[in-house]
């Protein structure tokens, strides 16, 4: 159902589907339609025009009814095209999946054979095959199928090579599955959508190729009609009786056009990345649809300030309130921690700052982001791009995903510098080396000359930090930069960040789900839940006397070394879905202190200086 909805959302694909369905219906009804026999000649009646008596589309050079020949011929052409596509897809995909899975010699033998097939111009190859097998429709079908096998084999091999080294295939091997089972159960379901997509876009092509062979007299043999042979026979009367060529020509055009339009639609609807919107026209910045007016500039000592920021994801009819009226601020040299469970909106808050939330489906619908007092949400894209890296830099969790795998570290650092500063390669190299020293990478000159995969996780994260520092930004937003690292490396990275912000007065917004990390690094902390801020304050205050029950439960989740044996208190239940938030306090369904009032109305943030919390019955109050 979803597939059909997605398919028909693409109007052209819907149009293609309707045209093709009508053609298919017509050819399926051929046996019951009151048609004349397609092959009976009547030379006295040759070249009758369109709409002549008893011949709706006229007659050909032998007086045969063109409508009857057209429908019979279309049936044959479609059957041959589909059959050729099916054969080419089956054999090509089997070769591709086997070569990709086994690799080594098998891959070499299969793919070099395919390469040899591809070395011939495809039409020459098809002609050679038909010449060897003899003319005839079945042989034309075999020829067209054979010349299309390489297309499927290469495509499917490429995808299989990527899949064969994935963890789920290793897991299947470890579970004792044999090769055949791994190929059919683990790999085939993953490549099947690609096979269907490739088929849907090549059927039209194969119908054309078969028609081409028939046109040359190598496909269907007289008196049997297919669209190509009809065109071939009409060639000599092209000028005198053009309708004999126009009729099959229009039909070929309609079939190929409808299949291609439908094929594109099928590809879009089947590809999960296109379906999720991930590949659909990614915009360079997040869409802004603010109802409130842009905020005027203010004087402030805060380097970055978010005011009632709202970021939503609009997916179909659903709205995900990922960031819901979030306000926070950070001063030069200060470290602000943002903490919360997975899905609480930390990353989307951080990405909204520089308009980096993927759009569609992300939209900033309200609030302000101020850099040194100036609201930058509506800033022209050129200004925003200039600010990215230069004023506000990001460090992400997985450096391997953010560093380019094919360029050496030195080149990537130089590029980060040269994006914002017009300096020579030698100068950039000098600065890159200096940055490597600043992030305490041992033997920095040699390390500039290696690829990301040749470094350890900790070293790679140091490189990411160096890249973030490359343009001396005022704010660094670090999104769980130590989550993937072991504790000793994590401690080194944290102390490096701490040292850098003190030395350079750079503000850090540190996103994490670990209160231990917050305690070590942050001056202040903001706790998020369900897209909202539920508590904030200086780290000491929040850790010593949490006011929101959620904060208290989060702190209780942290194991304490040497603190004696205590039971770890997991938080029951799951975080709320931000497209379906409960009324009142979002934490109420999981909170043992919740009362009816908590579930009725929105709970306001109670602010007192640096301290704020969103709770009617806070911790520490005697009720």
Ligand X SMILES: Nc1ncnc2c1ncn2[C@@H]1O[C@H](COP(=O)(O)OP(=O)(O)OP(=O)(O)O)[C@@H](O)[C@H]1O
> Would you tell me which residues interact with ligand X (CB under 6 A)?
313, 315, 320, 322, 340, 342-348, 361, 513, 578
Distance CA 339, CA 336 (A): 10
Q: Which residue, 137 or 322, is less far from ligand X as judged by CB? A: 322
Give the single-character DSSP code of 363. Answer: E
CB of 485 to ligand X, least distance (A): 16
Closest CA to 216 of 142, 147, 148, 140: 140
User: Nearest approach, Cβ of 35 to ligand X (angstroms)?
Assistant: 54
Kindly state the smallest distance separating residue 579's Cβ from ligand X, in Å. 7
Tell me the closest approach of the beta carbon of residue 361 to ligand X, in angstroms: 5
Q: Report how far residue 146's alpha carbon sits from residue 199's, in angstroms, rounded to the nearest whole number.
A: 14
Q: How many Cβ atoms sit within 10 Å of the Cβ of residue 462?
A: 24
> Are 119 and 198 in contact, with CB atoms under 8 Å apart?
no
CB-side exposure of 450: number of CA atoms within 13 Å? 15
In this structure, are strands 318-330 and 392-395 parallel, antiparallel, or unpaired? Answer: unpaired
**Dist CA 507 CA 497 (whole Å):** 10
Q: Is 621 left (phi over 0), alpha (psi -120 to 50) or beta?
A: beta
Q: How far is the CB of 307 from ligand X (least distance, A)?
A: 19
Catalogue the E-assigned strands of 219-355. Answer: 287-288, 304-315, 318-330, 335-339
112 vs 273 by CB, closer to ligand X: 273
Alpha helices (H) in 10-136, listed in sequence order: 11-28, 66-102, 104-119, 122-133
CB of 348 to ligand X, least distance (A): 4
Length of the chain: 623
Instruction: Choose between 374 and 402: whose C-beta lies nearer to ligand X.
Output: 402
Nearer residue to ligand X within complex by CB, 138 or 283:
283
Q: By C-beta, is 344 or 526 nearer to ligand X?
A: 344
Q: Which is nearer to ligand X, 56 or 315 (CB)?
A: 315
Q: How far apart are CA 527 and CA 532, in angstroms?
A: 8
What is the closest distance, in whole angstroms, from the C-beta atom of residue 362 to ligand X in the complex? Answer: 7
Least gap, CB of 377 to ligand X (angstroms): 18
Nearer to ligand X, 343 or 367 (CB): 343
Compare residues 361 and 481 and give the one whose CB is closer to ligand X: 361
CB-facing half-sphere around the CA of 118: CA atoms within 13 A: 13
Closest among 186, 159, 193 to 170, alpha carbons compared: 186
Helices 409-420/425-438 angle, 10° precision: 110
Q: Which is nearer to ligand X, 61 or 513 (CB)?
A: 513
477's enclosing H/E stretch is strand 475-479
Least distance CB 531 / ligand X (angstroms): 7
């Amino acid at each position: 159902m979803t597939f059909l909805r997605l398919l028909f959302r693409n109007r052209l694909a819907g149009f293609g589907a309707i045209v093709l369905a009508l053609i298919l219906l017509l050819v399926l009804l051929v046996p019951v339609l009151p048609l004349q026999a397609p092959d009976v000649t009547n030379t006295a009646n040759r070249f009758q025009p369109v709409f002549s008596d008893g011949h709706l589309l006229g007659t050909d050079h032998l007086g045969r009814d063109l409508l009857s020949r057209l429908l019979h011929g279309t049936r044959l052409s479609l059957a041959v095209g589909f059959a050729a596509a099916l054969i080419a897809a089956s054999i090509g995909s089997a070769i591709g999946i086997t070569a990709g899975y086994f690799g080594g010699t098998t891959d070499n033998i299969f793919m070099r054979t395919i390469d040899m097939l591809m070395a011939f111009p495809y039409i020459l190859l098809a002609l050679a095959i038909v010449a060897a097998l003899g003319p005839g429709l079945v042989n034309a079908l075999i020829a067209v199928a054979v010349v299309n096998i390489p297309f499927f084999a290469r495509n499917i091999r490429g995808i299989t090579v990527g899949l064969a080294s994935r963890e789920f295939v290793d897991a299947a091997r470890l579970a004792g599955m044999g090769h055949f089972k791994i190929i059919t159960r683990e790999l085939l379901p993953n490549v099947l959508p690609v096979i269907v997509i490739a088929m849907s876009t090549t059927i039209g092509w194969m119908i054309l190729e078969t028609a081409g062979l028939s046109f040359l007299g190598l496909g269907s043999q007289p008196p049997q009609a297919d669209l190509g042979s009809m065109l071939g026979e009409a060639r000599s009367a092209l000028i005198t009786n053009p309708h004999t060529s126009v009729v099959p020509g229009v039909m070929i055009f309609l079939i190929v056009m409808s299949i291609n339009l439908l094929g594109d639609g099928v590809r879009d609807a089947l590809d999960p990345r296109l379906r999720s919107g991930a590949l659909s026209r990614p915009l360079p910045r997040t869409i802004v649809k603010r109802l409130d007016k842009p905020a005027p500039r203010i004087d402030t000592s805060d380097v970055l300030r978010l005011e009632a920021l709202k970021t939503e994801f609009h997916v179909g009819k659903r709205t995900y309130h990922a960031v819901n009226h979030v306000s926070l601020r950070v001063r030069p040299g200060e470290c602000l921690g943002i903490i919360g469970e997975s899905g609480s909106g930390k990353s989307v808050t951080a990405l909204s700052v520089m308009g980096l939330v993927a759009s569609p489906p992300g939209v900033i619908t309200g609030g302000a982001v101020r850099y040194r007092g100036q609201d930058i949400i509506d800033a022209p894209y050129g200004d925003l791009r200039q600010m990215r890296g230069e004023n506000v830099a990001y460090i992400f969790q997985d450096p391997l995903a953010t560093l380019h795998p094919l360029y050496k570290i030195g080149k990537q650092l130089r590029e980060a510098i040269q994006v914002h500063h017009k300096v020579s390669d030698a100068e950039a190299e000098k600065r890159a080396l200096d940055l490597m020293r600043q992030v305490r990478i041992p033997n920095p000159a040699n390390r500039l000359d290696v690829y990301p995969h040749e470094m350890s996780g900790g070293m790679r994260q140091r490189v990411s930090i160096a890249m973030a520092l490359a343009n001396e930004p005022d704010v660094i937003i670090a999104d769980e930069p130590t989550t993937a690292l072991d504790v000793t490396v994590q401690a080194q990275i944290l102390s490096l960040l701490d040292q850098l912000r003190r030395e350079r007065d750079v503000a850090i917004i540190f996103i994490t789900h670990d209160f231990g990390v917050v305690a070590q690094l942050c001056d202040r902390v903001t706790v998020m839940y369900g897209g909202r801020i539920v508590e904030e304050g200086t780290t000491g205050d929040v850790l010593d006397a949490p006011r929101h029950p959620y904060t208290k439960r989060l702190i209780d989740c942290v194991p304490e070394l040497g603190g004696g044996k205590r039971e770890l208190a997991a938080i029951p239940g799951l975080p709320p879905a931000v497209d379906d938030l409960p009324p009142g306090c979002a934490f109420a369904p999981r909170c043992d202190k919740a009362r009816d009032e908590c579930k009725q109305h929105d709970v306001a943030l109670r602010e007192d200086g640096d301290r704020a919390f969103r709770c009617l019955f806070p911790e520490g109050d005697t009720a």
